[in-house]
């Protein structure tokens, strides 16, 4: 499958696409504050492209769980002020596909106007009733993620009677909502929501069974980079998440995941491309 994005494209048959995380926020769990200045954010975006990123994902509101500190909601205007200038300048300097990580329709609309291509909505179009219409009107692909509750509440209940089945059914329901709103089947991807309302064991199980979600028939995105289940599994602190994240990236390559959302672009690209070389040598 290939997403056509104006004069750009994403070919999911050409290996796993690497999505670089660009947080234009002061409080994201790993790199909060490093790129809150628009100039620094654009510089990092361009650096990620040089490192091999196939997509740059720009977000202006942290979705970190409470384990990392107080969850602070951001107004629509403030989020636009963080995101839109970065999208505008990155688009001016690069033709890399850009996704906007937001649950707000107006932020998505203004980012798409500024040159973004894709809407990455962690609420799967449920937080803002206008979001699906914006994506449909602009012909923008959407990434639909599973989460339980909001960032402030999602870790209060991580028990599931049927982890895989419940998440798959939720994603199938949100895919149908997207299609009903006029978003084409060839413009939808799904994300099981690693770290969003799941236990450590639940996250590991999701990664072990990623092919289960590919059965929905849409590209699958995984975002596990440097999340707490990785460094906690290894008995480390938050700074010890790189090697575990790379291990998850290699597993995702084995599972033929379509997109991988990461902080450490250069290291991940090298690990994934080596894994793919081994996978496809025969």
**Residues marked as catalytic:** 227, 261
Q: Given this model, what pLDDT does residue 63 score?
A: 73
Cα separation, 281 vs 135, whole angstroms: 39
| Confidence label for 37 from pLDDT (cuts 50, 70 and 90) | confident
Per-residue pLDDT, 74: 84
Read off φ and ψ for residue 260, nearest 5 degrees. -130, 125
**27 pLDDT above the threshold of 60:** no
Residues 118-136 have a mean pLDDT of 97
| pLDDT score recorded for residue 119 | 98
Whether residue 25 has pLDDT greater than 90: no
Other Cβ atoms closer than 10 A to 207? 19
State yes or no: pLDDT of 227 exceeds 60: yes
Q: How far is CA 151 from the centre of its chain?
A: 15
CATH architecture of 16-280: Alpha-Beta Barrel (3.20)
Question: Residue 17 above 80 pLDDT?
Answer: yes
Q: What does each C-alpha distance from 244 to 53, 54, 57, 65, 193 come to in angstroms? A: 20, 22, 21, 20, 18
Quick one: pLDDT at residue 64?
A: 60
Question: How large is the average pLDDT for residues 141-150?
Answer: 90
Percentage of the chain surpassing pLDDT 90?
80
Provide the token pair at 269: 């690209």
- What is the per-residue pLDDT for 158? 85
42-57 pLDDT per residue, tens: 999 999 999 999 999 9
What's the longest Cα–Cα distance across the chain?
52
Domain ranges of the chain: 16-280
pLDDT in tens, 197-218: 999 999 999 999 999 999 999 9
């Amino acid at each position: 499958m290939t997403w056509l994005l104006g004069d750009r494209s994403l070919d999911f048959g050409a290996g796993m696409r690497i999505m670089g995380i660009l947080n234009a926020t002061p409080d994201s769990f790993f790199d909060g504050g490093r790129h809150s200045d628009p100039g620094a954010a654009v510089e990092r975006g361009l650096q990620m492209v040089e490192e091999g990123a196939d997509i740059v994902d720009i977000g202006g509101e942290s979705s970190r769980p409470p384990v990392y500190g107080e969850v602070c909601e951001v107004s629509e205007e403030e989020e636009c002020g963080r995101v839109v200038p970065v999208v505008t300048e990155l688009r001016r300097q690069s033709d890399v596909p850009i996704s906007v990580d937001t649950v707000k329709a107006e932020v998505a609309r203004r980012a798409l106007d500024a040159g973004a291509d894709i809407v990455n909505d962690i609420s799967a179009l449920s937080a803002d009733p206008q979001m699906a219409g914006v994506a449909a009107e602009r012909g923008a692909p959407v990434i639909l993620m599973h989460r339980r509750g909001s960032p402030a509440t999602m870790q209060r209940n991580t028990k599931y009677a049927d982890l895989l089945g419940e998440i798959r059914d939720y994603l199938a329901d949100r895919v149908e909502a997207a299609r009903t709103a006029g978003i084409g089947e060839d413009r939808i991807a799904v994300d099981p929501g690693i770290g969003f309302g799941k236990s450590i064991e639940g996250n590991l199980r999701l990664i072990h069974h990623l092919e289960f979600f590919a059965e929905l028939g849409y590209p699958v995105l995984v975002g596990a980079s440097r999340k707490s289940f990785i460094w906690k599994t290894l008995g480390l602190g938050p700074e010890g998440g790189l090697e575990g994240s790379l291990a998850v990236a290699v597993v995702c390559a084995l599972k033929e995941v379509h997109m991988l959302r990461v902080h450490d672009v250069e290291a991940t690209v090298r690990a994934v491309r080596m894994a793919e070389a081994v996978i496809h040598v025969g």
